[in-house]
Amino acid sequence: MTDDRPHLAVIGAGPAGLAATVAAAAHGVRVTLIDSAARAGGQFYRQPAAELNAGRPQALHHQWRAWERLRDALARHMEAGRVTHLTDHHVWLVERRLERQAGGADRNAFTVHALLGPEQQDPVEVRADAVLLATGGYEKVLPFPGWTVPGVLTAGGAQAMLKGTLAVPGRTAVVAGTGPLLLPVATGLAAAGVEVAALVESADPKAFARRSRALAAQPGKVAEGTRYAAQLLRHRVKLLTRHTVVQAHGDDRLEAVTVAALDTDGRVRPGTERRVACDTLAVGHGMLPHTDLAETLGCRLDGTDVQVDDEQRTDVPGVWAAGETTGIGGAALSLAEGHIAGRSAAARLNGTEPDPRIWASAAKSRIKLREFFAALDTVYAPPAGWTDLVTDDTVVCRCEEVTGGAIREAVDGLGAGDVRTVKLLTRAGMGWCQGRMCGPAVAGLAGCELTPSRRPFARPVPLGVLARAGEAEADRSAAAPPDVLPD
């Protein structure tokens, strides 16, 4: 694209990114949609590989019509030259600069740095006038004895395998943890022919009754949950509420799990343990927002969520955020936030003050859905006593093989009081994932809050790429006129 229209870079092609792209492109902005996957849709709309020739991919999804509308709108904008979709582009950094215009005013200029392809060796740069972060979320992982045995995987991992490859992880599964994701995972596996021996949910059903007002405000969501419950009954899946997995058993492969009932304080009730035979355990305890790029840009966070205003703008000029990165809330909320963000970005890039009435319907949905998921968050919380299950020899950080005992020694014996100090003393979080997997567990065992760590890059980058980027930046700085100001 070489025209003079304002240029918006949208990072992430899930529900929020797609909705934002379509909204912005329809209102006079050229958009580059950048995503690490080979196809649009994100995790929620994950599609089977084209080579599999799936006859009915919609069988693995709900809200399929919403996906079709987004997919078709994206295709129309791409054909018209309003959108460029970059697939297999893994963004590792977004740089912001201020450029002095002829009239003396400063304007934002962004450079999105990405690595191309599955090998992630070839650098790519995208320059834009504004950036919209729709980077989604990732699963919260809490360790327990045996969680590293082959056959134990995250609930989202099991769902991604089924949606993306039409394969199942085993013949007999237990789905466990807490959160609304467990329902589609259990029903999806059962429909695919897996014997789901049990759905083990740590939440207390009575907690839903105490939040009936917020839940009743979303009858569609309640109906969705009812449909999942009916499918569980049809497939004869045993539902164990106020239960948790306390141990996974097996050497070369998972053979069984031990589950136990929880008391009102969220701790295991002695004597309630039972063993369930299975070769697969899909376990999940909710999700956390992906905020790496937002953190490097200096966006303000509230806990783990990127903070935005009513237009989905962050406190960094020229940066919008939408979807799970602003707080976990599901696809419907992501669509509403993406639409608002795209409309707002288009208006402001075109030099006009946006009229909130143009997204009034989406804003109304956003309010109700945020209230709904805030209520769910209080219900679907990990058991209060989950750290009691982590023995001293349980591996917590898999990258660096740091155990629960090492973390407790760092806290009790060496005086560590935060995740960073535990990391320095034990190397927990220094591995390939940079603490994304073990961070919540380390914080829980240390008895402190999970605080964002402002990493310089959002993913590992080859040294050769960094060297070339440094040379290119030096060349640009030498050639830049004096009115280009670094942020």
pLDDT at 222: 84
Can you tell me the mean pLDDT for 46-53? 79
Cα end-to-end span (Å), the chain = 26
- Starting at the edge strand found earlier in the chain, the sheet holding 484-486 runs 122-128, 106-116, 89-100, 484-486
pLDDT value at position 59?
74
- Please give the Cα distance from 392 to 394 (Å, whole number): 6
Q: Are 186 and 179 in contact, with CB atoms under 8 Å apart? A: no
By mean pLDDT, which of 78-87, 100-109, 189-198 is the weakest?
100-109
Average pLDDT value for the chain = 90
pLDDT tier at 401 (50, 70, 90 boundaries)?
Answer: very high
Average pLDDT over residues 309-336: 96
pLDDT tens digit sequence for 345-381: 999 999 999 988 989 999 999 999 999 999 999 899 9
pLDDT at residue number 427: 95
54 neighbors 48 (Cβ within 8 angstroms): yes
pLDDT tens column, 413-426: 999 989 999 999 99
Average pLDDT over residues 441-461: 85
Over range 61-90, report the average pLDDT. Answer: 93
What is the pTM for the complete model shown?
Answer: 0.91
Q: What is the mean pLDDT of residues 214-222?
A: 82
User: Could you identify the residue written with the tokens 């695919």?
Assistant: 192
Q: Which helix (H) or strand (E) holds 340?
A: helix 330-349
Residue 368 confidence (pLDDT) = 92
Is it the case that residue 89 has pLDDT exceeding 90? yes
CB 299, CB 306: distance < 8 Å: yes
Q: What is the pLDDT of residue 295?
A: 93
Only one residue has tokens 């030099």, namely: 351
Angstrom distance (rounded) from CA 286 to CA 5: 40
pLDDT bucket at 1, cuts 50 / 70 / 90: very low
Query: At residue 60, what is the residue type?
Result: L
Q: Specify the amino acid at residue 100.
A: R
Please write the tens of the pLDDT for every residue from 186-213. 999 999 999 999 999 999 988 887 887 8
Q: Using CA atoms, how far apart are residues 62 and 51, in angstroms rounded to an integer?
A: 22
Give the pLDDT score at 434: 84
Residues 81 and 86: their CA atoms lie apart, in Å, by: 13
Strand order in the sheet with 254-261: 243-250, 254-261, 274-277
**pLDDT at position 483:** 52
- Of all residues in the chain, the percent with pLDDT exceeding 90 is 70
